[in-house]
């Protein structure tokens, strides 16, 4: 087969081309090795460059790659053809894909703990990975029966009190904000005295929710106990299903406990799981009370839109 015929052959075979390869996606390095023997010297140089550094070559134009390998544009195109692509443009596209795959393949190596000297990019990756893990674990471990029962109780509650201190206090406030938006009567308490004072007012049909990762936070257990004894429906959101707080909880919702360390305090990962549970409660309640929740949601949206527009009038 003469060179010219080969070129013509390569050029002319369309989508249904007779020969072997579909524009190879990832098996490029292998293809290079396979075809290398049948390549001319210049083409080998190009193929080698491509196989060694897909990402780098993807960033180059024909001219650039030709210069890099000390060859010409024509040779680069010929090589691309030999590798099974219609032209250099397509080879370049495939190269970009390959580079991206290699990139993402390297990702799950971030299982180690965060170190003091980790570069900031690693910190981001590790934290994101960890929180994703926490979400997955929490979702998998959540008892949907308990969750459903809690939702039912909330949906028909006369009033709802939520207890939490420290980081969990913020989660408590988050839940409260959401419930208020769909027209429920809810309060968050992080002051233990006021919490107890209010808990005394609860009656059967009302709901009390305690949020504590350790399950051993006295300031949160105490108001829940009072609510429990007053006959309210009580819910505990905790990472320790065997902890003291569950004594007074009709329904226990468990969050996953992720690894923690010096630079990654418990508060950080527990919060992620707690928030997922809180979101589930909210959506569940919104579903059950959709008739009244939908207008309430729209109304609060409208009210806020006005405040946002105000912000636009910059200098």
**Both tokens assigned to 147:** 């969750």
Tokens of 300: 């609060």
Half-sphere exposure of 236 (CA within 13 A, CB side): 29
Contact 110, 126 (CB under 8 A): yes
Q: What is the pattern of x (binds a copy of itself, CB under 8 A) and - over residues 166-195? A: xx--x--xx--xx--x--------------
From candidates 15, 16, 105, 108, binder to a copy of itself by CB under 8 A: 105
CB of 95 to a copy of itself, least distance (A): 8
Neighbours of 8 (CB within 10 A): 11
Q: For a copy of itself, how many residues bind (rule: CB under 8 A)? A: 88
**Angle value at C-alpha 21, between 29 and 36, nearest 5 degrees:** 40
Does the footprint of a copy of itself cover residue 308 (CB under 8 A)?
Answer: yes
State in angstroms the smallest separation of the CB of 71 from DNA: 4
Residues 32 and 24: beta-carbon distance below 8 Å: no
Q: In the complex, which residues of this chain contact DNA (CB under 7 A)?
A: 1-3, 7, 11, 40-43, 61-63, 70-75, 77-78, 80, 86-90, 92
Nearer to a copy of itself, 45 or 220 (CB): 220
Kindly give the interhelix angle for 266-288 and 290-312, rounded to the nearest 10 degrees. 120
Q: How many helices (H) and strands (E) does the chain have?
A: 14, 5
- Look at residue 26 and give the partner it binds from a copy of itself, DNA, none, a contact being a CB closer than 5 to 8 Å depending on partner kind: a copy of itself
Please give the residues from 28 up to 67 whose contact with a copy of itself meets the rule CB under 8 A: 58
CB atoms under 10 Å from CB of 70, counted, come to 11
Q: Which is nearer to a copy of itself, 45 or 257 (CB)?
A: 257
117 lies in the binding site for a copy of itself (CB under 8 A): yes
- Near a copy of itself in 133-162, by CB under 8 A: 135-136, 138-139, 142, 144, 147-148, 151
Is 55 strand, coil or helix? helix
Residue 186, strand partner residues = 160
Instruction: Considering only the stretches 13-21, 71-79, 231-239, 272-280, report the one whose residues sit in contact with a copy of itself under the rule CB under 8 A.
Output: 272-280
Q: Among residues 63 and 132, whose Cβ is nearest to a copy of itself?
A: 132
| Partner whose binding site includes residue 72, from a copy of itself, DNA, none (CB under 5 to 8 Å by kind) | DNA
Q: How far is the CB of 1 from DNA (least distance, A)?
A: 7
Helices 192-199 and 218-229: crossing angle, nearest 10°?
10
| Contact positions with a copy of itself (CB under 8 A) in 76-95 | 92-94
Rounded Cα distance between 143 and 95, Å, is 46
């Amino acid at each position: 087969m003469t060179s010219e015929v080969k070129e013509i052959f390569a050029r002319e075979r369309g989508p249904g081309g007779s020969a072997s390869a579909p524009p190879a996606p990832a098996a490029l390095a292998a293809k290079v090795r396979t075809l290398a023997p049948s390549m001319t010297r210049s083409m080998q140089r190009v193929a080698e460059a491509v196989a060694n550094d897909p990402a780098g070559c993807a960033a180059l134009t024909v001219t650039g790659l030709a210069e890099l390998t000390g060859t010409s544009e024509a040779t680069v195109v010929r090589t691309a053809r030999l590798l099974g692509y219609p032209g250099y443009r397509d080879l370049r596209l495939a190269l970009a894909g390959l580079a991206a795959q290699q990139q993402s393949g390297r990702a799950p190596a971030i299982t180690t703990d965060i170190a003091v000297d980790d570069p900031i990019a690693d910190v981001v990756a590790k934290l994101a990975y960890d929180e994703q893990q926490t979400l997955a674990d929490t979702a998998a471990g959540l008892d949907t029966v308990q969750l459903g029962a809690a939702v039912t109780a909330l949906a028909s509650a006369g009033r709802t009190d939520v207890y939490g201190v420290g980081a969990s206090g913020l989660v408590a406030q988050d839940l409260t904000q959401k419930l208020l938006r769909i027209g429920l009567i809810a309060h968050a308490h992080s002051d233990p005295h006021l919490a107890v004072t209010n808990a005394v007012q609860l009656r059967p049909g009302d709901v009390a929710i305690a949020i504590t990762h350790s399950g051993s936070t006295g300031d949160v257990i105490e108001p829940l106990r009072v609510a429990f004894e007053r006959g309210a429906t009580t819910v505990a959101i905790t990472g320790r299903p065997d902890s003291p707080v569950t004594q007074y909880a009709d329904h226990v919702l468990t969050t996953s406990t992720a690894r923690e360390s010096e630079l990654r305090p418990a508060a950080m990962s527990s919060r992620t799981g707690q928030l997922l549970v809180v979101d589930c409660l909210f959506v569940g309640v919104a579903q059950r009370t959709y008739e009244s929740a939908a207008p309430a949601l729209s109304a609060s949206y409208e009210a806020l839109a006005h405040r946002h527009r105000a912000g636009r009038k910059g200098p």
